[in-house]
Each structure stands twice: as structure tokens, then as C-alpha cells.
A and B are shown apart, each in its own frame.
Chain A
Amino acid sequence: NAGVMQNPRHLVRRRGQEARLRCSPMKGHSHVYWYRQLPEEGLKFMVYLQKENIIDESGMPKERFSAEFPKEGPSILRIQQVVRGDSAAYFCASSPAPGGGSDGYTFGSGTRLTVV
């Protein structure tokens, strides 16, 4: 029973390039959440998606960042024209119900984005 799969694990981009981060939720989970973690900080909520719908993107910067969770395939977090301040670890989590139910979320291992 595979957990939440994120790829790539590490991503290096030059300033101005695009970064695409992928997340495949656990089997049977239709709720996906993206969080960002800066060095020595806790995780910060970015966006909550269900299949084909963005439910809450209040934590996501309004410019350059977008997220999707299509009917088929993984959820994608896309960062256009990356800047050094985008360097962080990005975590995806999934759950079978909003808020995770009795088991909470299950997090993936994250994608560590470095902008050079």
C-alpha cells in the first residue's frame, strides 16, 4: 500500500525557470493538500484540492504559483519564474476525508526546491 508519492525529491532551478512538483495521493484519497517548509520553520498551508477542484488556495502566493489536481494523474504544484525565496521543501499530504479524519493527513517525503 504505497504512501503519498512526491517527485522529484530534489529539484534545482535557475532564477526565472519553472518548477513543477508532482504528488500522487494514497490510493482511495481524494483530498490533497500542499504545504511549504522554510528552513527551521514549521510547515505552512498553501492549498487544498479535491479532484478537479481547488477548495482553498488562501495560503498560496497570488502570483507565479498555481496548483491542480486533474481527474486523472497526480496533483501538480507549479511555480513560474522562480526566485531564490522560493527555495524550500514542499510537502504534499492526502486524506480520505477533509481534515484527515481519525488518522490525520499522510504526508509525502517532500520535494526540496533549490533556486540558484
Chain B
Amino acid sequence: GQQLNQSPQSMFIQEGEDVSMNCTSSSIFNTWLWYKQDPGEGPVLLIALYKAGELTSNGRLTAQFGITRKDSFLNISASIPSDVGIYFCAGLNSGGSNYKLTFGKGTLLTVNP
């Protein structure tokens, strides 16, 4: 089946630092999504990317959809303590199963105040 390789697995940073994480795939996805999951909660959508090469921002978050449609990155600028959580990339399939999300294994972000 399809797999997403997400890195890094975890990050420990100081408040105010910038963060970057990425996902790569051997398969093409038509849509890339970035989610954040807080402990004991479900994933919450942060950014959705629909076109190859697209660069989208949401506040301090910036994400890009790779030109090859096989990768994406997420940047968080000027991190704050509430950025702590697990960040997941997800690709939405193309074609007949365009409802099925494939998730990466997540990046656990810890922000030291």
C-alpha cells in the first residue's frame, strides 16, 4: 500500500525557534494535508494543498506541495508553547479512491519555554 515517510520523528526546540518537517512518498497524491493532534484529541486540519508547487500560509504556518506531487513540507515560525503536539502529513488519493487519506507517522514537537 501507499506509505508516507515523515521526518523528523520528533523535535525538541526552544520557544521562538523556527521548525521544519517534511513528508515524502513513492506515490503521487493530488492533495496534501497537514494536521495537528493534541493529546487525547483527534487531528485538526492546519493547511490543505491542492496544486503542485503551491505554497500556502496560515498564520505562522507555511506549507508547500512539491512539484513532483510526492512531497510536502511544513514550516512553523517563531514557535510558542501551544505548538506542542503531533503533526501529521496526509495525502489524499487520486482516482477512484479519492476519499482515502494516507497518513505519515507524525512528528512530535516539544517546545521548551
Query: Chain A interface (Cβ within 8 Å of chain B)?
Result: 4, 31, 33, 35, 40-45, 48, 55-56, 59, 91, 93, 95, 98-100, 102-110, 112
Q: Return B45 CB to nearest CB of chain A, in Å.
A: 5
The answer to whether B103 touches A56 (Cβ under 8 A) is no
Size class of the contact patch on chain B: 20 to 34
Q: Which of A56, A91, A102, A110 contacts B99 (CB 8 A)?
A: A56
A-B contacts, 11 of them at CB < 8 A, read A31-B99, A35-B101, A45-B101, A48-B99, A55-B99, A95-B99, A100-B92, A105-B45, A106-B45, A107-B44, A109-B40
A93 to B33, CA, bound (A): 15
Tell which of B42, B43, B99, B105 touches A99, judged by Cβ atoms closer than 8 Å. B99
CA–CA, A53 and B33, complex, Å? 27
Residue of B nearest to A108 (CB): B42
Shortest distance in angstroms between A22's beta carbon and chain B's nearest beta carbon?
15
Residues in chain A near residue B43, CB distance under 8 A: 43, 91, 107
- Which chain A residues lie closer than 8 Å to B112 at the CB level? none
Q: A35-B103, A95-B99, A105-B101 are in contact. List 11 more A-B contacts (CB 8 A).
A: A4-B42, A41-B106, A42-B104, A48-B100, A99-B98, A102-B48, A105-B45, A107-B42, A109-B41, A110-B40, A110-B42
CA distance A43 to B99 in the complex (A): 14
Total A-B pairs, Cβ < 8 A: 69
Chain B residues with CB under 8 A of A93: 42
Asked whether A98 lies within 8 Å of B105 as measured between CB atoms, the reply is no
Contacts of A110 in B (CB 8 A): 40-42
Give bound CA distance, A112 to B40, whole Å. Answer: 9
Per-residue CB contact flags for chain B residues 35-76 toward chain A (1 = under 8 Å, else 0) read: 100001111110010000000000000000000000000000
Check B48–A42 contact: CB distance below 8 A: no
Q: Is the CB of B48 within 8 A of A56?
A: no
B28 CB to closest chain A CB (Å) equals: 15
Residue of A nearest to B44 (CB): A107
